[in-house]
Structure formats: structure tokens, C-alpha cells
Amino acid sequence: MARTQNDAKRLVGQTVADMITAGMVLGLGTGSTAAMAIKALGERISREGLEVKGIPTSFASERLARENGIPLTTLDEHPAVDLAFDGADEFDPGLALIKGRGAAHTREKIVAAQARSFVVLVDESKRVSRLGERMPLPVEVVPMAVAPVMTVLRKLGGDPVLRMGVKKDGPVVTDQGLWILDAAFDHGMGDLDAVNMTLLQTPGVLDHGLFLDMATTVLVGRDDGTVERLDRR
Ligand code: 5RP
């Protein structure tokens, strides 16, 4: 039977759900691939009575976790996360990521930063040689800072646009009540550290979708039904 991208997402979702052991505090990522892992975890909880707690990274993953019977907690109650899992929009050979297609990258980064192990779930379509090759870099901004942040992004070589809602007039509003600029980089981003630091130092930027030195493991669901495991050295 022909394998689809959905099959690959399901495979890596199941793989990370199988890595989870009793007592773990988990970061629950956002997006269609993380959703597969949340559902697979929910099945283990109902089948085996596995006891874990999850910290959701968005309203979307919170709702899905509740629907799937995953007990929830917060970083206030559990500041140390054993394992966080999440999807990504691109990953490069050094396991740097672009995230934020779902506008959840700020909370995703907060939770991943507290995790002993950050497992990224992708299919082959997310592999690039240079970040920014295919996907724009999302930047979460305070609405009044849109124009100055666009100027900074253009100086960095990006071509920013304000992300607009679907089935909603006007800009996308994030879970924090802020807006998203998506910056396309024609031939990918050059100096990732410079982009990272410049954006973090720009007034009005809450956070951006570059995840540098964060992924400990990337699980790639392949078309042949196998999972490639890449570990950060
Ligand atoms: C949401 C994200 C997602 O994890 C990323 O966009 C991947 O999503 P999907 O698994 O649906 O391709 O960063 O902000």
C-alpha cells in the first residue's frame, strides 16, 4: 500500500509515544505530527494505565490532550520536563529548526527549553540543507512594533509579511494575543546566530521560530515505513 505523509507522521508519533515511561513530565507539542503523538500517548494511557503528566504548548494541544485523557500540569508545578515532543517546519543537518507554522513557537520554545530531552517529529519533506529554503521564519510581535520589526527583518535579508487569518478578518492573533510576521529568505538564512540574537534584541519581538541547539533527537518518518533517528552530538 502506498504510504502517505500522514502515515509517516503517525509512525513518528507512535515511536515517541513508545519512548515514554511511567512518571514522566512531558511537553506536548503543537501541529499535525505532535497531534499523532498526543493521540498515541492517550491510547497508551487508556490501555496500560500509564501515569504521566503533560504540559501543553498551545490552546490546541491543551484541548487535544484533554480529549485524549492526558493529565495536564504547568511549568509552575513541574519546572523540570523529562521529554518534550514537537513537530517542525524545517530541520537542517545540524538539527537546527524552523517552527511556528501554527504560531505556537513561543510556548513551544519555553517548554522545550526546560526539557531534558527534546524529540522532534518530522517526515522527509521537512529536511533542508539550509533553514529558510522552503518555509518563512515566523516572528511573534507586539502589534505596534510591526513596522520597525519588518525593517529589522529586511536588513537581515528577509521579506516579511503579516500573517492573516483564515475564516477571520485581519491578522492571526496568537495564544498570547500578539501578531505574526512571516519572513521569507530567498536562498535560506546565512548566519543563524546573528538572526537569532538580532531578533531577540529587537524591541517588540516576543520570540521567533528559530530553534538553535535545542533538538536532542530528530525522528524522521520515511516513505519506506522506517524511522531514521538523528541525535545531536
Ligand atoms: C506549530 C509548529 C508545528 O510543530 C510545525 O508547524 C509542524 O507542524 P506539522 O506537524 O503540522 O507539520 O511549530 O507552531
Q: Can 108 be counted among the known catalytic residues?
A: yes
Which residue has the least CA distance to atom 8 on ligand 1? Answer: 31
| CA of residue 201 to ligand 1 center, whole Å | 25
Q: What is the structure's pLDDT at 1?
A: 44
Active-site position among 108, 133, 140, 228? 108
Q: Give the ligand 1 atom nearest the CA of 87.
A: 4
The model's pTM is 0.96
Residues touching ligand 1 (Cβ under 6 Å) are 29-34, 86-89, 99-105, 108
Q: For residues 70-103, b (16+ Cβ closer than 10 Å) or e, as one string?
A: beeeeeeeeeebbbbbbbbbbbbeebbbbbbbbb
147-186 tens-digit pLDDT: 999 999 999 999 999 999 999 999 999 999 999 999 999 8
Pairing of strands 81-87, 25-28: parallel
